Structure 1
Amino acid sequence: MEKIKAWAKNLKRQVFILYFAYKDERAPWYAKAFTACVVVYAFSPIDLILDFIPILGYLDDVIIVPLGIMFALKMIPKNVMSDCKVKAEEMMKNGKPKNWIVGSLIVLIWSLIILCLIVKAYQLFN
């Protein structure tokens, strides 16, 4: 169980590193775009594969998110990474920030996606 907790804490630290890397001006645009997608998905309360589906529900949490983090970390220059690691460690000691605007934006985007799917399904069956 301790191994799993350490793995989860490391994963959380890496997401915070990506969060800071996205905000860094020295990171290339393509890395920022991919990193933004990974961070938003990691922090999003809604998953592509719903968690209540047996086994497959946790597939994104165990495989998709870590793979996305791994690829995003490889896209970011080493000097940017080292600065972002320091910032992430500081933030983890002080507690994560609460950004209600970004959180609201994530919920709004997912709500619009679900609404579009409902409208399309309604049109399809009527």
Structure 2
Amino acid sequence: MLFNRIRRWVRLIKKDGLTLWFACRDPQAPLWLKLFTGLLALYAVSPVDLIPDVIPLVGWVDDAVIVPSGVMLLLRMMPTPIRVRSLAYVEQRQRQGKKLISRSGLILLLLLWLALIMWGVRHFMT
């Protein structure tokens, strides 16, 4: 019962995230939407958090609350025509069974983390 509820919640957050992604790619999307979405994505992948992740459980709560809340807030603030078009595009891709995978984005993120780790090792080991 609990796992089904969590699974539904994760699917909804994923759908909202994809809707926000496609809304930012819309040429008519306002600049503030793209800026705040970028900042939210940067916070989501950033190693710097409001509450450090090394604190057991509590460190993960800020990510589990701030990121979904930010996505929901941005979806509510975006212009209705853009939200409708983006949601329709997400639903169309889901019906077709297409997955959104950015291999170049994944490689860039992995290279960024690798560079950060190498800098940390070089900086703190010497």
- Give the TM-score normalised by structure 2: 0.74
- TM superposition outliers: structure 1 runs of 4+ over 6 Å: none
Q: Which runs of 5+ in 1 are unaligned?
A: none
Output the amino acid matched with 1:96: K
**Contact 1:15/1:39 (8 A) holds in 2:** no
From 94, 102, 107, the counterpart of 2:105: 102
Q: Which runs of 5+ in 2 are unaligned?
A: none
1:62 is matched with which residue?
A: 64
Q: Pick closer, same or farther for the CA change 1:59–1:115 going to 2, 3 Å.
A: farther
Q: RMSD value over aligned CA atoms?
A: 2.7
Q: How does 1:10-25 map to 2 (within 5 A)?
A: 10-25=12-27
Give distance in 2, aligned partners of 1:53 and 1:120: 24
Q: What's the offset of the Cα at 1:8?
A: 1.0
- Give identity over the alignment, percent: 28
Paired residues in the alignment total: 120
- Give the TM-score normalised by structure 1: 0.74
Q: What's the offset of the Cα at 1:70?
A: 2.0
Task: Report SS of the residue matched to 2:84.
Answer: helix
